[in-house]
Amino acid sequence: MRLKEISYSKIKERQEKYNITELNIFWEKDNPTNMRFFEMYDKDELVMFFRLRSKHGITMIGNVFTFPQHRRKGYSKIMHYCIIKIVKDLYPKTEILATQTETDNINNITATRIWGEKNRREETNEPNRFGIIDWAYEPPKGFVDYIYYDDLSNIYERNKKEITELGDIKI
């Protein structure tokens, strides 16, 4: 696997080029975090992109988009393992790794496998419990998302075999 860091403008360009309407990619103006955007390639083929944000020792995964022809092939799981493996290089102060999804999102299956059922909570606040904004616009009244989080070392230990099997990740 290869990850390529890209700019916010590049990810917005990709969103427009591929007419991706299901993602709300935004820049946090009033609540800045250390935001970084990445593309993930399998060999030389673009498979997906995602965003990482870090604030106060918490790093959140978001804006995950897998291109339709690559869905249901395990790339979301691989992406999460890649992030777990390299997040300390990108954000050395990371203590907690988290992700937030809508309750009907298929990524809940992957997140439950990686973080564990006991590390899933319902999230009804915006910004979320870590002070990180997850919605590009005012969320609907009464919204409920799932937020998964745990100490990075626990996540690594729980997924060590799969992470080790990844081999080298090129950035």
DSSP string, 26-72: ---SSS--EEEEEEEEETTEEEEEEEEEEETTEEEEEEEEE-GGGTT
Determine, yes or no, domain membership for 170: no
Q: Is the peptide bond before 127 cis (omega within 30 degrees of 0)?
A: yes
| Class of residue 25 by CB neighbours under 10 A (exposed 0-12, middle 13-18, buried 19+) | middle
Write the CATH number for 87.
3.40.630.30
Determine, yes or no, domain membership for 171: no
pLDDT at 164: 94
Listed in sequence order, the residues at least 6 apart from 22 whose beta carbon sits closer than 8 Å to its beta carbon are 65
State yes or no: pLDDT of 80 exceeds 70: yes
Determine, yes or no, domain membership for 151: yes
- Give the distance, in angstroms, between the CA of residue 96 and the centroid of all CA atoms in the same chain: 13
Determine, yes or no, domain membership for 75: yes
Determine, yes or no, domain membership for 154: yes
Range list of β-strands (E), the chain: 2-6, 34-42, 45-55, 58-66, 96-102, 120-123, 145-151
| Region 27-37 average pLDDT | 74
Determine, yes or no, domain membership for 149: yes
Whole-number mean pLDDT of the chain?
A: 90
pLDDT at 33: 67
Candidates 105, 107, 88; CA nearest to 169 is: 88
pLDDT band at 24 (very low <50, low <70, confident <90, very high): confident
pLDDT at 31: 57
Q: Give the best-scoring range by mean pLDDT among 18-27, 33-42, 87-96.
A: 87-96
pTM: 0.90
Q: Which domain does 18 fall in, by range?
A: 2-165
- The lowest-confidence range among 105-109, 111-115, 125-129, 132-136 is 132-136
Indicate the number of domains in the chain: 1
- Give the distance, in angstroms, between the CA of residue 58 and the centroid of all CA atoms in the same chain: 12
| Class of residue 130 by CB neighbours under 10 A (exposed 0-12, middle 13-18, buried 19+) | buried
pLDDT at 126: 87
What type of residue is 27?
A: W
**Rounded to whole angstroms, what are the CA distances from 69 to 21, 47, 152, 170?**
17, 8, 31, 23
